[in-house]
Amino acid sequence: MNEVLDVIAKRYSCRGFGSRPVSRADLETITKAGVQAPSSRGNAPWYLAVVTHRGLIDEIRDSAFAVIKRRDLEGHQRILDRGGDLFYNAQALIVVATKPTHDLTPAEFDAGLLTENICLAAHSIGLGTCICGFATHAFHVFASPDGERFSRRLEIPYGYQMTVGILVGHPVQTKEPHPADTSVIRFFE
């Protein structure tokens, strides 16, 4: 198996990070891999805020958790079932924001490609990642009292929306990736 296929096969969602910080150089490497992703018409409709400020990461986590507790009973239960932690002690949070496009495919599609590039690049250099949809709750302008403040603090450009979070750190807990269900693939020859 070549290196790319090996990294794709072995990446997994890490839900336990150590307290060792992630270096600025590593964060630059993986976010650069992110923006090397393709996007519809080459629009690159994204903005990344790379947060390593401990206090700010914790504030975003707590705000997201408060919204989930109030508004997403099923999500709240899922978090409790996983031990009650939302960010798993991640040392960096990459906030991916997108500018809505009127293209055939939404900007979130492009953001997904960027996100997977970051996760694969991180895995290839020994870092763990977990894509975190729950983090978006913290930025919700109506549901979260802190939504506007977080967007300003992270300088999310006007008109862009927080789309997904990526948790990054040095793994202290590993797991097997999900089994690939190839039964959904059909060949027409």
Ligand X SMILES: Cc1cc2nc3c(=O)[nH]c(=O)nc-3n(C[C@H](O)[C@H](O)[C@H](O)COP(=O)(O)O)c2cc1C
Site for ligand X contains 168 (CB under 6 A): no
Stretch that binds ligand X, among 1-9, 22-30, 131-139, 140-148 (CB under 6 A): 131-139
The least CB distance from residue 188 to ligand X, in Å, is: 28
Burial class (CB in 10 A: 0-12, 13-18, 19+), 80: exposed
Q: Considering only CA atoms, which of 183, 45, 169, 31 is closest in space to residue 107?
A: 45
User: 41 CB contacts (<8 Å, ≥6 apart)?
Assistant: 103
Site for ligand X contains 95 (CB under 6 A): no
- Sole binder of ligand X in the list 122, 130, 162, 166 (CB under 6 A): 130
**Which residue's CB is nearer to ligand X, number 103 or number 108?**
108
**Total binding residues for ligand X by CB under 6 A?**
11
Site for ligand X contains 164 (CB under 6 A): yes
Stretch that binds ligand X, among 8-16, 19-27, 34-42, 53-61 (CB under 6 A): 8-16
- Sole binder of ligand X in the list 7, 8, 10, 13 (CB under 6 A): 13
The least CB distance from residue 109 to ligand X, in Å, is: 12
Stretch that binds ligand X, among 2-10, 23-31, 132-140, 151-159 (CB under 6 A): 132-140
Where helices occur in the chain by DSSP H, the ranges are 3-10, 24-35, 54-71, 73-81, 107-124, 147-153
Query: DSSP letters of 63-86?
Result: HHHHHHHHH-HHHHHHHHHTTS-S
Decide if 163 contacts 135 (C-beta within 8 A): no
Query: And the tokens for 102?
Result: 């009127």
Rounded to an integer, what distance in angstroms lies between the CA atom of residue 114 and that of residue 182? 24
- Sole binder of ligand X in the list 18, 38, 100, 133 (CB under 6 A): 133
Site for ligand X contains 138 (CB under 6 A): no
Binding residues vs ligand X (CB under 6 A)? 12-13, 15, 130-134, 164, 177-178
